[in-house]
């Protein structure tokens, strides 16, 4: 073979390989009772290494690569199962083509509770190397999954030391206590502080059992939507109702995540200088009565940024970015900001 012919063959082969690598991900769609399934990538075992546990707590807003790199690494770069209650299979090519780092993506979009007992749905969840719960309305997740084999399947996934992440509504369901938004709305800080025992504060438990979050209630879109006050109200209420003085609130800003390792060590990942906020009252509320505004003093609010480290089992914080003391007087929130050394 002459050299030009050989070179031409090599170039043609390289171009063919490049074109194949650039082929967009295909999405196979099927439908069952109460769900749509969108599948991309090979069937069977696809993980490159053994998955290891961890929880990714994303506050909503724009997706950013650093968070998913963390999740994909802990999932062994294998099969990602996305759980949603709206949308279609648009995240499949995003995760496989734009971000990369996973071998297969299965998206389950729930539209009814009957799907949570469906053998196909449960088999998809069982095969996951990692799970990601999308945003939307957390009331759908509560109504569709709570008390079903689907709830058991998610908890079994976590118990098997496999990672789970979620954003916005998918963050809301990660704590031991959940704001379910079960009245069809999203309560605001002024509404919560005016009546924290009111029926619009739909707080539930006995849902997901995630490691190191057994004393946590979460909130998303935190500072942009001014949700500090409502999280203070929820924590004050739950501490009074449960007698659990260890219960805390974790609020996560948009385009930000708290990445919790299997041993409880956590750090902040962010694509937009966002933070994570810890809400820890020092005292019980002085006024917590149905139909009346909240009064409480001495609420410790700790900000965490990408330089901070947080150990959930002990509550120890290294290099906090912010230290505030919050108080609520007859439903009005005030903050004292402490200077950093």
Residue 327, helix vs strand vs coil? strand
Does residue 55 fall inside a structural domain? Answer: yes
Does residue 264 fall inside a structural domain? Answer: no
Residue 275, helix vs strand vs coil? coil
Does residue 275 fall inside a structural domain? Answer: no
Does residue 102 fall inside a structural domain? Answer: yes
Residue with tokens 């002459």: 2
Could you give the number of structural domains in the chain? 1
Does residue 13 fall inside a structural domain? Answer: no
What pLDDT score does 132 carry? 99
Which range of residues forms the domain containing residue 252? 35-42+49-256
Q: What share of the chain is helix, strand, coil (3-state, %, to 5)?
A: 30, 30, 45
What pLDDT score does 13 carry? 35
Does residue 265 fall inside a structural domain? Answer: no
What residues in the chain have per-residue pLDDT under 70? 1-22, 341
Nearest to 237 by CA among 197, 180, 199: 197
What pLDDT score does 10 carry? 37
Does residue 186 fall inside a structural domain? Answer: yes
Does residue 23 fall inside a structural domain? Answer: no
What pLDDT score does 341 carry? 64
CATH code of the domain in which 209 resides: 3.40.50.880
């Amino acid at each position: 073979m002459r050299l030009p012919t050989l070179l031409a063959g090599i170039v043609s082969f390289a171009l063919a390989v490049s074109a194949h690598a650039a082929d967009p991900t295909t999405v196979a769609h099927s439908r069952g009772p109460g769900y749509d399934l969108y599948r991309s990538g090979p069937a069977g075992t696809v993980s490159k290494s053994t998955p290891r546990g961890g929880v990714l707590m994303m506050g909503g807003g724009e997706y950013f690569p650093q968070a998913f790199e963390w999740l994909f690494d802990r999932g062994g770069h294998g099969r990602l199962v996305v759980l949603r209650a709206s949308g279609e299979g648009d995240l499949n090519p995003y995760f496989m083509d734009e971000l990369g780092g996973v071998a297969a993506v299965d998206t389950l979009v729930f539209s009814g509770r009957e799907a949570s007992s469906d053998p196909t749905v449960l088999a998809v969840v069982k095969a996951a190397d990692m799970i990601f719960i999308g945003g939307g309305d957390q009331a759908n997740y509560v109504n569709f999954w709570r008390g079903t084999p689907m709830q058991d399947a998610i908890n079994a996934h976590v118990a098997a030391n496999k990672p789970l992440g979620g954003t916005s509504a998918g963050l809301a369901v990660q704590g031991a206590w959940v704001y379910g938004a079960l009245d069809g709305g999203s309560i605001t800080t002024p509404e919560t502080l005016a009546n924290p025992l009111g029926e619009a504060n739909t707080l539930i438990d006995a849902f997901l059992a995630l490691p190191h979050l057994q004393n946590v209630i979460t909130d998303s879109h935190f500072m942009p939507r001014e949700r500090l006050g409502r999280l203070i109200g929820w924590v004050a209420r739950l501490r009074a109702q449960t007698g659990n003085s260890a219960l805390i609130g974790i609020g996560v800003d948009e385009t930000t995540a708290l990445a919790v390792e299997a041993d409880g060590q956590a750090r902040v990942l962010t694509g937009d200088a966002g933070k994570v906020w810890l809400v820890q009252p020092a005292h019980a509320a002085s006024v917590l009565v149905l139909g009346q505004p909240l009064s409480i003093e001495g609420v410790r609010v700790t900000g965490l940024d990408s330089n901070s480290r947080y150990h959930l089992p002990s509550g120890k914080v290294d290099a906090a970015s912010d230290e505030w003391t919050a108080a609520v007087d007859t439903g009005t929130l005030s903050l004292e900001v402490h200077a950093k050394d």
